[in-house]
Structure 1
Amino acid sequence: MTNVNSVFDMVRELILELKDVEENDVTLETTIESLSLDSLDFVEMQVVIKKKISVVLVPESFANSNISTLRQLCEFIVEQLKPVAVPV
C-alpha cells in the first residue's frame, strides 16, 4: 500500500539526486519553492513518479491543488491512487 511516507521517501531520494541539498533539509514541511526546482527537475519528477507508481503529475495539478510543500505533494499523489467509487 502506498502512503504519504512511502511516496515521500521516493520523492526525497529523487530530490537529493537532482539538487545539491543536504538530506536533513528535505522534509515533509519543505516548500517546493525553497528547493529551486527548474522545469527539467519537474519533468524528471513526473517521469519517475509515473514509472514507479503510475500517477501522472501535470503542471495544472500544482496550480489547481495549491501544492506548496512536499507533504501536500505526497498527499496529492496518494489521493490520485485511491480508486474512484462507481455508483451502482
Structure 2
Amino acid sequence: MQKIITRHGLKLPKIGLGTWPMLGDECTRAVTQALELGYRHIDTASGYHNEAAVGAALSSTSVPREQIHVTSKVWWDKLTPAAMRQ
C-alpha cells in the first residue's frame, strides 16, 4: 500500500477505512474485514462513539499492531484534561 510521508517522517497509509457512522458489531466486522483485505489505516473519533468497536477489531486481528495506523480525533471542546475525563 502506498504511503504518505509527513514532514515529521510519519509513514501514513494513503487509503484508510473511515468508521463513521458505524457502531457496535457492524463496526467491528467492517474493521476486521478491512484489515484482512490489506487496509492498514483506520479512522475513528471519540465523537463517533465506536472506539470500543474499533478496539475490539484491533485486538482480535492477526495483523501486528505496529503495522496499523489509527487516526482518532478529539473535538475542540474536549482538549482539556478535565474534559477528557467526562
TM > 0.5 between the two?
no
TM-score by length of 1: 0.30
Structure with a larger share of its residues in strand = 2
TM-score by length of 2: 0.30
Using CA pairs under 8 Å that are at least 6 residues apart, name the structure with larger relative contact order, 1 or 2. Answer: 1
